[in-house]
Chain A
């Protein structure tokens, strides 16, 4: 999976990035850009969750806690201290990373997958309830508003860049930049020694440990980096949507959305979460009129993809092609 890319694959990746870059020149449709911005935010979240769950083999079900901590952290620092969102989104990420460290330490000492699932889910509930109870600070379920928007700036050729609800193009490029950065961080880590030990760890924990791989440290590193990325995505989301409620960003529904995306796209693949985020975000928009059925459909998608599409959409091609990913063919 992380062998050097073939020229064809490089071409595909560059083509996709180029298409994303050019898109606003073709259409500036506010609605379409809004859907794509959401898809990219969810794409970061899905990639980071997949980093922990698919690559590191730590099945967490509470990553929405980090999204909420990043979103509320950045928004509250912006509102109360008047700092710029350009700075606070990184602080939001740091808050999420600290929380990831706090919850990661006890969780990682446990080998049992069910324990990890339960504790992470419970932690996320603590975050949700705390956000909704601390009404003096967060305004609870009434929603936190008045979140500052990103300040504009002037670029040499483009001219003035203004972040306003009417013009989605600046947000689009910012989301794209964050997405590319996140995927780059994950890819770089997966190609480093950390990535190799992760793969070894996922395929056989005891064997990897017996060869001197420090499991706890590697896993903690992945967990914290993943929390950070999810926190930054949440922070961006807060400044973009400009209203936050605990139910929307810390509710288990958000986690279910992300899990559905990763499972549909392909758990443990690099492109799967991105494909899943795009496909499901667009699907949701089609289901907008059937809003009451939205979560019903997500539930069904998770069950059906686990049962009938265990490796996700992105590996369908490989299943039909005859040659499997045998070691011998990788030498090419």
Chain B
């Protein structure tokens, strides 16, 4: 294998890793704010993909209208799901387990609802942009560059939002101390709902960007959920910057690992990496050891 092909694979790893980071940051956002581990997060990705497919392919809308509309749809869906299920469990006895169990049930429910509604055939979306970017011997499709740019811009915007806007302050305040936040007038319940909506929207953005290169199908949620979990374990659960670094690392490790073995071992490599990290640094690669 030529060195150029190898570099291409690393770049591809970074590109796919940037979407893993998007998924991981959604999981980290919900966990960081509510201490809820959302096992239905993959289903936001899966449904987001179908939203894009129906808007962009079936209805024939331009991608720049279809994608924001699909993302907004996912945002509303995320809020609705939080309000109808998690909201009632939160704070009850044993809620930490019951929310995990409930989101697992939701996940399997949504997956099979999608199977009934959309059928079992694999769908795909045409490339948003054509062309190939050449850097000397290295050739990368422009579509893949777009994925990386959109993912990184989204994460950058999220980081800005969390740091500098009133909504971001409210989310961070609620995550630090819900009661104290309530004292100064932050409506925690509404913040939780919005957080769920934002996380779902992040999943839908990842789905929109990956839809042209991966297929959209009812089962696509679980594999991407597990990738998101690896990301948050690598980066430290609940840490937003950790999720970004974790996503990129996972993407590169997978790309190199697949070169050494073969693509059917890709997921074994990522879960193996996760278990190795748990052995070595259970609090994540970048987090600090909890006292």
Contact = CB atoms under 8 A, between A and B. Distances in A.
Interface of A: 53, 59, 61, 103, 106-107, 109-110, 112-115, 117-119, 121-123, 125-126, 129-130, 133, 252-253, 256, 259-260, 263, 292-293, 295-296, 298-303, 306-307, 310
B229 A122 contact: yes
Contacts of B282: 106, 109-110, 115
Contact of B98 (A103, A119, A260, A310): A310
B268 A126 contact: yes
A308 to B, nearest CB: 9
7 contacts: A106-B282, A114-B37, A126-B268, A260-B105, A295-B111, A298-B108, A299-B108
B116 interface: yes
Interface residues of B, number: 45
Contacts of A306: 89, 98, 101-102, 105
Contact of B101 (A115, A133, A263): A263
A125 B102 contact: no
Given A256-B104, A306-B101, A307-B88, A122 B112 contact: no
A262 to B, nearest CB: 9
Contact of B105 (A106, A117, A300): A300
Nearest to B105: A302
Nearest to B266: A129
Interface string B128-158: 0000000000000000000000000000000
A306 B98 CA distance: 6
Nearest to B222: A252
A125 B112 contact: no
B275 A122 contact: yes
B166 to A, nearest CB: 29
B4 interface: no
B31 to A, nearest CB: 7
A205 B130 CA distance: 57
B5 interface: no
B272 interface: yes
Contacts of A296: 108-109, 112-113, 116
B102 A307 contact: yes
A245 to B, nearest CB: 16
A130 B268 contact: yes
B102 A133 contact: no
Contacts of B108: 253, 256, 295-296, 298-299, 302
Q: Please list the 3 inter-chain residue pairs (A to B) with the smallest Cβ-Cβ separation, ordered nearest first.
A: A302-B105, A299-B109, A299-B108
A299 B37 CA distance: 17
A119 B104 contact: no
Given A121-B229, A303-B105, A306-B98, A129 B268 contact: yes
A125 B271 contact: yes
Contacts of B88: 307
A118 B282 CA distance: 12
Contacts of B105: 256, 260, 298-303, 306
Given A110-B282, A126-B268, A256-B104, A118 B233 contact: yes
A181 B13 CA distance: 50
Interface in B234-291: 237, 264-265, 267-268, 271-272, 274-275, 278-279, 282
Interface string B75-98: 000000000010011001110111
B167 interface: no
Given A114-B37, A303-B85, A106 B96 contact: no
Contact of B274 (A122, A130, A302): A122
Contact of A112 (B97, B237, B274): B237
A167 to B, nearest CB: 36
A109 B282 CA distance: 8
Contact of B267 (A112, A115, A117, A129): A129
Nearest to B274: A122
B180 interface: no
Given A298-B108, A307-B85, A119 B274 contact: yes
Nearest to B120: A292
A307 B279 CA distance: 35
Given A115-B282, A306-B89, A133 B229 contact: no
Contacts of A115: 233, 237, 278, 282
Contacts of A295: 108, 111-112
Contacts of B232: 118
Contact of A302 (B96, B104, B272): B104
Given A122-B226, A129-B268, A295-B112, A106 B89 contact: no
B106 interface: yes
Given A61-B104, A129-B267, A298-B108, A110 B237 contact: no
Residue from B94, B111, B112, B279 having most chain A Cβ neighbours under 10 A: B112
Contact of A292 (B89, B115, B274, B275): B115
A301 B106 CA distance: 10
A117 B88 CA distance: 22
B100 interface: yes
A112 B153 CA distance: 32
A117 B100 contact: yes
B85 A106 contact: no
A118 B41 CA distance: 13
A306 B105 CA distance: 9
A106 B278 contact: yes
Contacts of A119: 233, 274-275, 278
